Amino acid sequence: APQPQRPRLGAVALASGAAWVLAGNDTGSMVTASPRLYPHMWSWDAAFIMVGLAQLDVHRAAREMETLLGGQWADGMIPHIVFSDETGYFPGPERWETALLGEHAPAAPHTSGICQPPVHAVALRKIVDAGRRRSGADQRRAEALLEWAWPRLFAWQRWLATRRDPLGTGLIAVTHGWESGMDNSPRWDSAYAAVRPGPDLPPYTRKDLDEVGDEGERPSDAEYDRYLWLIEEMRRAGYRSDEIVRSGSFLVGDVFMSAVFALSCDVLAELGEESGRSGEQVALLRDWAARSRAAVAATRDPVTGLARDFDVRAGEWIATPSVAGFSPLLCGGLEPDARAALVATLEGPDWTGHPDLATGSLPTVSPSSPGFLPKQYWRGPQWPVISWLFSWAMRRGGMDDTAAGIRAETLRLVSDGTFAEYYHPLTGAPLGSLSQSWTAAVVLDWLY
Ligand code: 9WN
């Protein structure tokens, strides 16, 4: 296989570089997702950033959680963007206008009107563990954060459980591809084909292409029209979640989101038990986790064993395979044989064992799949943060060897020191934004 040509950094230089990236993207109260392409706080990026910060500075990590939750909506939703004062990035606050149109949105800070995968309980776990390990003032800060953030994260999980389970099965639905975090994954192609931007879509100018030189690494204009049209529908619905779930053009039961939800319900329940939280709320979290775990397991394709999304509007399973197919490994719930088979698929020749890969980090689409596009965003590239999440959850689930393999291979991938947003799976070349905070953050966690 062709190997990346760039010089490789050793662990000490790599960790220093990662810390430097986070410091460079830090405005004081938020570490932006990247320096130029994303000069704001993204919800699930922030959670991973906290995981990295926790290794360096518990107080700074706690502050990050406070900034994020400062943008939480009154109904519990954590918005996918908390905006800084920077004007870069489209769509910005003037396009969303959530404070004006949405009854639950805060007046300040400015926020978007959709959400992202709920990985935040994992971040809280990491901060609390780091604080307890260090003791003293770090521990006090972490325990105080736990006390303050726990009910807020409970409200967030409750929002997902009650507002985003349209089938009543525990399969959590997204109303926009951006909510999945995997914006233009081929998972969403069929559902997006049914989204027809109206002639009254207000005009707009993309800014992302100014920052990423090769437009082949970003979603297409046709995709953007659909992204913006869904926002237009939401604006017209006053960001009312019941109305959007009832009538929006895009509604998909997202198996990855559901698995992350189940995982986070369990992690939050554990934190609650440790800190003497109300048994009733902990029991609810356990119920939601069990329900979604079962829902995730039930999505599996009878032939491939990969988990699938369900297009609620079309009333059909989405057969397109992607990394989300491994979602049951995030939250558990499979019988031992089924789990072993899914792990074997993950490590097999279609996925991390594919002979053409430069490193065995997890690709977002299998190189054997007809939809594989090696430099196209969520259509093939390796995203280190996705590998981190699978590795962390699989270790938690007792799949230590697979978790260690993903870690080692992804560290090899990122040892070029660019901390790219995503990487070309066949060459290891960095793609998208460089100095991407969540890439740096997960590297720090891995090296500490
Ligand atoms: C839209 C910030 C975010 C990530 C997403 C990733 C990308 C935004 C965009 O960047 O999405 O939310 O403009 O492309 O797909 O997962 O949170 O890093």
Banded pLDDT at 7 (limits 50, 70, 90):
confident
pLDDT score for 319: 87
pLDDT score for 213: 81
Q: How many CB atoms lie within 10 A of CB 191?
A: 23
Model confidence over 241-252: pLDDT tens digits?
Answer: 999 999 999 999
Task: Give the Å distance between the CA of 201 and the centre of ligand 1.
Answer: 22
Q: Whose CA is nearest to atom 12 of ligand 1?
A: 178
Pocket test for ligand 1, best of 37, 42, 221 (most atoms within 8 A of CB): 42
Which is the closest atom of ligand 1 to the Cα of 438? 18
C-alpha–C-alpha distance, residues 171 and 254, integer Å: 7
Task: Give the Å distance between the CA of 49 and the centre of ligand 1.
Answer: 14
Q: What's the domain count of the chain?
A: 1
Model confidence over 53-106: pLDDT tens digits?
Answer: 999 999 999 999 999 999 999 999 999 999 999 999 999 999 999 999 999 999
CATH assignment of the domain containing 162 = 1.50.10.10
pLDDT score for 433: 96
C-alpha–C-alpha distance, residues 289 and 308, integer Å: 18
DSSP 28-50: SS-B-SSSSS--SEEHHHHHHHH
Q: Whose CA is nearest to atom 1 of ligand 1?
A: 178
* C-beta separation of 228 from 203 below 8 A: no
Q: Pick the closest to residue 279 from 126, 154, 153, 122 (CA basis).
A: 154
Model confidence over 184-219: pLDDT tens digits?
Answer: 999 999 999 999 999 999 999 999 999 998 999 999
User: Could you say which DSSP state residue 174 is in?
Assistant: E
67 in a domain, yes or no? Answer: yes
Which is the closest atom of ligand 1 to the Cα of 183? 15
Active site positions, annotated: 183, 421
pLDDT at 142 > cutoff 60? yes
ipTM above 0.90, yes or no: yes
pLDDT at 4 > cutoff 60? no
pLDDT score for 415: 97
Task: Give the Å distance between the CA of 121 and the centre of ligand 1.
Answer: 20
Q: Which domain holds residue 101?
A: 11-447
pLDDT score for 402: 98
Which is the closest atom of ligand 1 to the Cα of 112? 12
What residues line ligand 1, using a CB cutoff of 6 Å?
Answer: 33, 38, 42, 44-45, 80, 178, 181, 183, 208
> Of all residues in the chain, what percent carry a pLDDT higher than 90?
98
Q: Whose CA is nearest to atom 6 of ligand 1?
A: 181
Which is the closest atom of ligand 1 to the Cα of 208? 13
Angle at 301 between CA 297 and CA 305, to 5 degrees: 70
306 in a domain, yes or no? Answer: yes
> Of all residues in the chain, what percent carry a pLDDT higher than 70?
99
pLDDT score for 350: 98
Q: Pick the closest to residue 35 from 433, 432, 442 (CA basis).
A: 433
295 in a domain, yes or no? Answer: yes
Mean pLDDT of 323-351: 98
Q: Whose CA is nearest to atom 4 of ligand 1?
A: 181
Task: Give the Å distance between the CA of 247 and the centre of ligand 1.
Answer: 25
2 in a domain, yes or no? Answer: no
pLDDT score for 2: 53
User: Could you say which DSSP state residue 300 is in?
Assistant: -
Q: Pick the closest to residue 423 from 360, 368, 330 (CA basis).
A: 360
- End-to-end CA distance of the chain: give it in Å, rounded: 30
C-alpha–C-alpha distance, residues 166 and 170, integer Å: 9
Asked whether the bond before 91 is cis by omega within 30 degrees of 0, the reply is yes
405 in a domain, yes or no? Answer: yes
Task: Give the Å distance between the CA of 73 and the centre of ligand 1.
Answer: 20
C-alpha–C-alpha distance, residues 293 and 288, integer Å: 8
Which is the closest atom of ligand 1 to the Cα of 433? 18
Give the 3-state secondary structure percentages of the chain, helix then strand then coil, rounded to 5: 50, 5, 45
Pocket test for ligand 1, best of 38, 187, 257 (most atoms within 8 A of CB): 38
Task: Give the Å distance between the CA of 176 and the centre of ligand 1.
Answer: 12
Banded pLDDT at 5 (limits 50, 70, 90):
low
Strand 81-82 relative to strand 173-174: parallel, antiparallel, unpaired? unpaired
* 31: β partners: 26
Mean pLDDT of 149-163: 98
1 in a domain, yes or no? Answer: no
- List strand residue ranges (DSSP E) for 35-167, in order: 41-42, 81-82
Mean pLDDT of the chain: 97
3 in a domain, yes or no? Answer: no
438 in a domain, yes or no? Answer: yes
- Cα 171 to Cα 131, 150, 161, 208, 310: the distances in Å are 34, 23, 9, 32, 9
